[in-house]
Structure 1
Amino acid sequence: MDKAEQEKPFLIVGTGTETVAPGLHILRGQGQSFVAETDAGLVVIDAGPGGPVTQGMIDAVRQLSNAPLHALCYSHGHVGYNSGVPMWLAHAAQRGDAPPRVIAHRNVLRRQARYRETEALQHRMAEIQFNRPASFFDRRLTMHAPTETFDDRLHIGQGDSRIELRWAPSETDDAIALWSPSQRVLYGGAALIDSIPNIGTPFRTMRDTVRWADTLDALAALGARKAVREFGATLEGEEQVRHVLTHTARALRWLRAEVVRLMNEGFNERGVLARIRFPDELFGVEWMKPTYGDPGYIVRDIYRSENGWWDRNPTSLHPEAPETIGRAVAEAITDKRGVIAHACSLAKEGRWQLALHVIDLLAIAEGDAPEIAEARSLKAEWLRERARQVPSYVSRNLYRVGADMIEQGTQGRFGIH
């Protein structure tokens, strides 16, 4: 990815608005935000990432209505979605309107406290996950505390324009949905996307698979005629909405049951991953494609939820430093050319993943010996090949960033090998 490509906004789905029902609109920005026209004023879900994107969102809203902004609401606590809050507040002040309410689920406060404590880590993880240059997120991931929070439900407005904010724990434990009872329109936010649920992302804390399924079942029970997703096309018709939500919930429950079955048979994490098969009837449908996450990621999260960190190899209980291990393994291999030749033969057969396992015997070692340098170069090349094979956006980026760091000699700074 060149510098121009890296500087493009990420997760931006376009500009403008789309009306889904009278007074209810999709607002495009970082993901699909939402606008509800209520008798109390406008309610906007997500302020956007700031800068030109948020300004475009504000301009788009003003094409819809001149009503005052009553509330800004956080769809969930991931930072970039609401970095643009100050711009909306300034806009309200310029109009002479009262400051809008800034509403979030109570758990957002705890998330923001954690993000402040681990700020450098959060920025590094985001750089790698989204394949961005160093310090890209230092000026983008700004946090703004809500002025009020709620636990389960919050009602805004009266009569036919009344809306409900509902706790919808899913990708995060602070996610919310918006429900219009009179028009039976649902905005699902982070709980409802057009790919397999984003559980088990390699850099993130655990996300509860069954709780996400519970949320989808609860949203399905509302009987929505339309459901707006954070990413992807709007679901149309009560039958389609219920089918997509309950199908996704059923697939998540199947994953939980199958991983537990294999754990009960005694398999460790890699053993479970090697044996699990994802049935097409559950995972072959359009809205379960692994375009961002991956079913294997979910398997890992479920496994971690019932296990400790140990991989069942006693050697790993009290390990030496990675660089010390790499050096000792490389020194122990007297036929380094043989290791490289065997790894290359696997690569020629198209067995890229197995080739990576073999080349790691040398590639993670320190030093500039010719065989070590060649092993690193081959690993970088094969990581890029693996990136071309996987559909998951996150996996592709991790492969590509890993290759870049190997070639730049910066992998140690990020703990990547």
Structure 2
Amino acid sequence: MKQDPLFERLWDGTAAMEEWTAAVSHGAITQVDDNIITVHTTYFCGSVTAIRTAEGLVLIDTAKPDTAKQTLDVIRSWDDAPIHTVIFTHGHIDHTSGIKLIDEEAERRGVPRPRIVAHRNVARRMQRYVDTHGFNSFVQGQQFNMPGYVYPIGQRRPDAVYDDTLSLSIGGEKLELFHGRGETDDATFVWLPERRVLASGDFVIWVFPNAGNPRKVQRYAAEWAQALRRMEALKPETLIPGHGPVVFRAERVSRMLSDGAEALEHLVGETLALMNAGATLEDVLSKVKVPANYLAKPYLLPKYDDPEFLVRSIYHLNAGWFDGNAAHLKPARTAELAAELADLAGGARKLAERAETLAGQGQSRLAVALAELAAAAAPGDPQLQAIRAATLRKLIDSESSLMGKAFLAVYEREAEGRSKG
């Protein structure tokens, strides 16, 4: 299958993913095979793949709440057969939420609702979202700058679950499901052996692997790499990523899978080597970096997650929450520490002034540390909050990852509000 010119520019790094998102915003179809399409509406919504079989359609994922109808309409423009089976590659809402509209359509037509197949942990994830609904809504609102956001819960849970692998035969189409842990612990990738087509779910997302989100549950960088190696060994000729355009040609698919695995293996190996030598988390963070040749690849840009966050995740998975600094084992309250340091410095204003100086010298991380202490020592001082906001803005401007920018911006907005009294 020939790739289009925009894909070629994405592949060589001369086009940004934002251009692709704009190009597919109307609801675009990629023809994967004679009886397979993938529907795209935006990079931020998971890809939805439809497979035509003698028993009806099989869908891999279902879109997010605001794109589910558009996605289903596009599928219906291609084939109007009943939907027989839906496979969830994992339990995130941008892959599961469309099931509500699909079920409603089945009821209107008087046909059975589709069977949902997924890994066993998808149902556990959905229950955790119910149990932590307030927190999850709060964090999602912060991460995507949506104050007051309410995370949607109540998606229908799987009818059939599996543990490691599952083989399906539906209407003459063979599908093999494989479990792996990466961004989530409930992830599935789907292999169509007779067509040599691989649907990776979010193991491939056209940016650096999202295995270190600062405010989400544990992610699994080492096992993510193992899953990519497992996919590579299948020798797929077509790759349908969880996000982003479909990749054709075996050599490109192999390179994409191998590069992602190697980058993760490097982070895991370097982190563990330092841990085994007795390094603290601070030491590990200062020394473990992804080689620049990986970060330069257009499908491994650190635009969403930050490799530094992945190092933290790898450390905490293997070492627990304590980072090796004695002051952090039973830490003093920040306000008390800030008051003591402000007193030593000659007042909170002195700390803030030093923060301004450091920010002007490009030492944004240290500047933010002092600005936060100054604001904690004198939280009612609007001038200190203004300095805090300006210092945070300098650090935000130097960040490449969406997550880094988003979470820092939460505190910038807070400081700006307090600076106005």
The answer to whether the 8 A contact 1:38-1:162 is kept is no
Is the aligned partner of 1:44 residue 2:53? no
The answer to whether the 8 A contact 1:74-1:103 is kept is yes
1:7-41: CA deviations, max 9, x gaps?
Answer: xxxx9973232211111111224221211112221
Q: Offset of 1:238 from its aligned partner?
A: 1.0
Paired residue for 2:250?
238
Shift of the 129–269 alpha-carbon distance from structure 1 to 2, 3 Å rule, reads same
Q: Offset of 1:158 from its aligned partner?
A: 4.8
Q: Offset of 1:364 from its aligned partner?
A: 2.2
User: Which of the numbers 369, 374, 377 marks the counterpart of 1:365?
Assistant: 377
The answer to whether the 8 A contact 1:46-1:81 is kept is yes
Instruction: Give the distance between the partners of 1:366 and 1:104, measured in 2 at CA.
Output: 52
The answer to whether the 8 A contact 1:168-1:215 is kept is yes
Q: Offset of 1:184 from its aligned partner?
A: 0.8
The answer to whether the 8 A contact 1:259-1:302 is kept is yes
Paired residue for 1:34?
49
Shift of the 277–48 alpha-carbon distance from structure 1 to 2, 3 Å rule, reads closer
Paired residue for 1:156?
169
Paired residue for 1:90?
104
Paired residue for 1:321?
333
Instruction: Give the distance between the partners of 2:325 and 2:190, measured in 1 at CA.
Output: 47
The answer to whether the 8 A contact 2:348-2:375 is kept is no
User: Which of the numbers 389, 395, 406 marks the counterpart of 2:404?
Assistant: 395
Paired residue for 1:404?
413
Q: Offset of 1:331 from its aligned partner?
A: 4.1
The answer to whether the 8 A contact 2:281-2:315 is kept is yes
Q: Offset of 1:63 from its aligned partner?
A: 0.7
The answer to whether the 8 A contact 2:271-2:284 is kept is yes
Counterpart residue identity of residue 60, structure 2? I
Counterpart residue identity of residue 416, structure 2? E
TM-score, with structure 1 as normaliser:
0.88
Counterpart residue identity of residue 92, structure 2? H
Counterpart residue identity of residue 190, structure 2? L
Range with bigger deviation, 327-336 or 230-239: 327-336
Q: What's the secondary structure of 2:191's corresponding residue?
A: strand
User: Which of the numbers 349, 356, 359 marks the counterpart of 1:344?
Assistant: 356
Counterpart residue identity of residue 350, structure 1? G
Counterpart residue identity of residue 331, structure 2? P
Shift of the 338–99 alpha-carbon distance from structure 1 to 2, 3 Å rule, reads closer
The answer to whether the 8 A contact 2:46-2:61 is kept is no
Counterpart residue identity of residue 40, structure 1? E
1:172-222: CA deviations, max 9, x gaps?
Answer: 111112222121111111111111111111011221211111100111111
The answer to whether the 8 A contact 1:50-1:85 is kept is no
Instruction: Give the distance between the partners of 1:324 and 1:80, measured in 2 at CA.
Output: 42
1:267-289: CA deviations, max 9, x gaps?
Answer: 21121111223222333322221
TM-score, with structure 2 as normaliser:
0.87
Shift of the 408–337 alpha-carbon distance from structure 1 to 2, 3 Å rule, reads closer
Range with bigger deviation, 120-129 or 280-289: 280-289
Paired residue for 2:298?
286
Q: Offset of 1:332 from its aligned partner?
A: 4.4
Shift of the 313–221 alpha-carbon distance from structure 1 to 2, 3 Å rule, reads closer
Counterpart residue identity of residue 411, structure 2? G
Instruction: Give the distance between the partners of 1:220 and 1:143, measured in 2 at CA.
Output: 32
User: Which of the numbers 131, 154, 172 marks the counterpart of 1:117?
Assistant: 131
Instruction: Give the distance between the partners of 2:72 and 2:372, measured in 1 at CA.
Output: 50
Shift of the 338–405 alpha-carbon distance from structure 1 to 2, 3 Å rule, reads closer
Is the aligned partner of 1:108 residue 2:122? yes
Q: Offset of 1:409 from its aligned partner?
A: 4.8
Is the aligned partner of 1:175 residue 2:184? no
Paired residue for 2:77?
63
Instruction: Give the distance between the partners of 2:385 and 2:278, measured in 1 at CA.
Output: 35
Q: What's the secondary structure of 1:71's corresponding residue?
A: strand
Aligned identity (percent) is 28
Q: Offset of 1:366 from its aligned partner?
A: 4.7
Is the aligned partner of 1:374 residue 2:383? yes
Range with bigger deviation, 288-297 or 259-268: 259-268
User: Which of the numbers 115, 123, 146 marks the counterpart of 1:132?
Assistant: 146
Q: Offset of 1:224 from its aligned partner?
A: 0.9
Q: What's the secondary structure of 2:215's corresponding residue?
A: coil
Superposed, which structure 2 residues align to 1:263-278 within 5 Å?
A: 263-278=275-290
Range with bigger deviation, 79-88 or 289-298: 79-88
Q: Offset of 1:362 from its aligned partner?
A: 0.8
Paired residue for 1:221?
233
The answer to whether the 8 A contact 1:16-1:56 is kept is no
Shift of the 50–308 alpha-carbon distance from structure 1 to 2, 3 Å rule, reads closer
Q: Offset of 1:47 from its aligned partner?
A: 2.1
Paired residue for 1:6?
none
Q: What's the secondary structure of 2:156's corresponding residue?
A: coil
Paired residue for 2:14?
none
Is the aligned partner of 1:23 residue 2:38? no
Counterpart residue identity of residue 78, structure 1? H
1:91-136: CA deviations, max 9, x gaps?
Answer: 11212222211222111111122221111111111111111112x2
Q: Offset of 1:42 from its aligned partner?
A: 0.4
Q: Offset of 1:44 from its aligned partner?
A: 1.1
Counterpart residue identity of residue 169, structure 2? I
Counterpart residue identity of residue 90, structure 1? E
Is the aligned partner of 1:166 residue 2:178? yes
Q: Offset of 1:335 from its aligned partner?
A: 4.2
1:319-359: CA deviations, max 9, x gaps?
Answer: 34333433444344424443333222212222222211222
